[in-house]
Amino acid sequence: MSTDPALRVMIVDDHPVVRDGLRGMLEHEPGIEVIAEAGDGHEALAVIKALGGPASDGPDVVLMDLRMPGMDGIEAIRRVRVDDRNRPAVLVLTTYDTDRDVRAALSAGADGFLLKDVRRADLVRAVRDVAGGRPVLSARALAALTGQHHENSLTEREIEVLRVIAAGGTNRSAAARLLVSEATVKTHLLHIYDKLGVRDRAAAVAIAYERNLL
C-alpha cells in the first residue's frame, strides 16, 4: 500500500452544484483529497493564502473555472503565479474553449485546459498529470496552440450533440444521453451555430448533412 501523501485539490467554480459534482468525482479516488472550495477568484486567493500555500497545507492542484463574477479565473491564475511560478498546479476546467480563452489561460500560467464534459477517468488522470508536472490539454486547446484549429470545424462532442438534435432530441434529452448538463448542451449549440454560420438547430442540422458531418 502506498504511503505517499494524498494530492490536495481545490475546486474553484461559481456554481455550487458543479463544485459538489467535482468533489463527488474526486474525493473517493485513492490518493486524492479535496481540501477546499471557492466561488470566485477573490475567495480562491484568500483560501490559498489561509492554507499557507503548497509548501504546507495548501493545494497541490487547483481546478479553476474561467468565467466567474468578481475576479475571473484568468486574473486568479495570474495572481497565484505572482506568489509562486510553479505551484500549485492550475488545471482550467471550463465550458468555454475559444482560442482566446485557451491562450489567455495558458499565458496567465495555467498548467492544463479541459472542458467540463470531460469523462471522470480523464479528469482524475489530468489531476495526477498536472500535479506531476505534465501539461494537460484538450484536443481543441492543443489545436489552438499549434495553429491547426479552424473556426468552422466541429469537435467530436459537438457532432454528438448534433446527432441527438438531428434525431429530434431536446436539450434535456441530449444532456441525459451525453451525461452532461443542459447548460453544457446549450454552450455546445452556441459554438455549433457560430462555426456553421447559422442561427437555429434546424439550419445547423441541414448544414451538417450538407457537409457530411452527420
Output the pLDDT for position 52. Answer: 74
> pLDDT tens digit string along 9-61?
999 999 999 999 999 999 889 999 999 999 999 999 999 988 875 456 789 99
| Residue 58 sits in the same domain as residue 102 | yes
Output the pLDDT for position 146. Answer: 62
The residue range of the domain holding 128 is 7-146
In this prediction, residues 96-112 reach a mean pLDDT of 85
What's the structural domain count of the chain? 2
What is the chain written as a DSSP string? ---SPPEEEEEE-S-HHHHHHHHHHHTTSTTEEEEEEESSHHHHHHHHHHHT-TTTTS-SEEEE-S--SSS-HHHHHHHHHHH-SS-SEEEEEES---HHHHHHHHHHT-SEEEETT--HHHHHHHHHHHHTT--EE-HHHHHHHHT---TTPPPHHHHHHHHHHHTT--HHHHHHHHTS-HHHHHHHHHHHHHHHT-SSHHHHHHHHHHTT--
pLDDT at 132 over 70: yes
pLDDT at 83 over 60: yes
With beta carbons less than 8 A apart as the criterion, state whether 178 and 117 touch: yes
The CATH number of the domain holding residue 121 is 3.40.50.2300
Output the pLDDT for position 1. Answer: 46
Last residue of some domain: 146, 168, 184? 146
Please calculate the CA angle 39-80-40 and round it to the nearest 5 degrees. Answer: 10
Output the pLDDT for position 125. Answer: 94
The CATH number of the domain holding residue 200 is 1.10.10.10
Last residue of some domain: 106, 122, 146? 146
> pLDDT tens digit string along 135-187?
898 876 776 666 554 445 788 889 999 999 999 999 999 999 989 888 889 98
Last residue of some domain: 146, 176, 191? 146
Mean pLDDT, the chain, integer: 87
Output the pLDDT for position 31. Answer: 94
Q: How crowded is residue 92: how many other Cβ atoms within 10 Å of its Cβ?
A: 31
Output the pLDDT for position 143. Answer: 67
